[in-house]
Amino acid sequence: MKSKGLYLGVLISLMLLVLFSLGGGIWGAKSTIGHWTGDLFRGICHQNPLRSFHLDGVQMAVNSRCFGVFIGLLCGWLAIPAFIRMGIKKNPFLWYLLFAVVAQIIDFSGNLIQLWENSNESRVLLGWFLGFTATASVFDLFTNNN
For residue range 34-54, list pLDDT tens digits in order: 899 999 999 999 989 899 999
- Domain ranges in the chain are 4-142
pLDDT of residue 145: 60
Spatial distance between the Cα atoms of 46 and 116, rounded to a whole number of angstroms: 21
Spatial distance between the Cα atoms of 22 and 55, rounded to a whole number of angstroms: 8
User: Has this prediction a pTM greater than 0.85?
Assistant: yes
Spatial distance between the Cα atoms of 138 and 18, rounded to a whole number of angstroms: 20
What is the tens place of the pLDDT at every residue in 59-102? 999 999 999 999 999 999 999 899 888 887 777 888 899 999 99
Mean pLDDT of 112-140: 91
Mean pLDDT of 100-108: 93
pLDDT of residue 131: 96
Spatial distance between the Cα atoms of 38 and 23, rounded to a whole number of angstroms: 6
pLDDT of residue 93: 83
**Would you give the end-to-end CA distance of the chain in angstroms?**
11
Cα 73 from chain centre: 5
Q: Is the dihedral of CA 42, 48, 54, 59 positive or negative?
A: positive
CB-CB contact of 64 with 52 (8 Å): yes
Position 22 confidence tier, pLDDT thresholds 50, 70, 90: very high
Q: What is the length of the chain?
A: 146
pLDDT of residue 88: 77
CB-CB contact of 29 with 90 (8 Å): no
